[in-house]
Structure 1
Amino acid sequence: MSPLDEVTRSSVERIWQGVVDGSVSREEAHAWAEPWVEGDSGSGDVMTDSGLQHLHGFDLVWVDDDRTITQHGGIGPRVHSAADIERAFTAWQAACDSYDADPVGYVRQVQASALANLLGDLREHGREAE
């Protein structure tokens, strides 16, 4: 599992499956994804990049009792449970299928969902969208 390997959806899926089945640690997955997530270039595929973002964050731990501060790795309760990681894997695979079937429609739906969530947050906190 070298960070210099070419990143593809298949390689993301292989690493993610390893995290799910325990053959790849969360820290190994983070280290593998790190060059693409924190580097200057992504994979060139929006769904591969999405998967890399997930892998990069599966090692997050809470570092304070109020659970407001996280860090990559270390000692503390995990932000993402094993069940969370497995559910996210299934959801990512379904999202990849949706994207492949209709990339424009998928992006439009994700943008609309993000906007609806943002507007809901603004309303909840007593602010109107400008």
Structure 2
Amino acid sequence: MNTINTTYAGIWRVIPSPGPELRLGSPEDPLVQEVAKQARLLQASRVGCRRRGSLYEAYIPDGTLFGGRSLPPIRGLSPEASRRANLLLGSGSGIRVQPGRDEEFDQLQTDYFAAWDRARAYTAAVLALPRARV
């Protein structure tokens, strides 16, 4: 996981915030709207990168595929802090996506791995703005 995050590290630092494209034209301009749309998609990829790890939990398997019970929370910690501590301490015998959060995890994964394609689409939209002005 660290290798993948290091490889992708450069793209996460340069993802733009939506908004600067308004300096290049009216908000009603379809080209400006396309740049804003692509910037929002890139932001979704950043969110996917940052949040997908928060959906994992340590658990005790019961022998079925991803079946088993979640580890009990650590007394004195919030549920989220307890979940992170259990993952870091290596408690439990397995790691899985929290039950009931598979759909959210799949969306975050899709957004995360779409970053490069979305970066190309954003670049194409940005380059279309000055070309249309010439």
Look at both structures and tell me which one has the larger radius of gyration over its CA atoms: 2
The structure whose RCO (Cα within 8 Å, separation 6+) is larger is: 2
TM-score by length of 2: 0.30
Q: In proportion to residue count, which structure has more strand?
A: 2
* TM-score of the two chains, using structure 1 as the length reference: 0.30
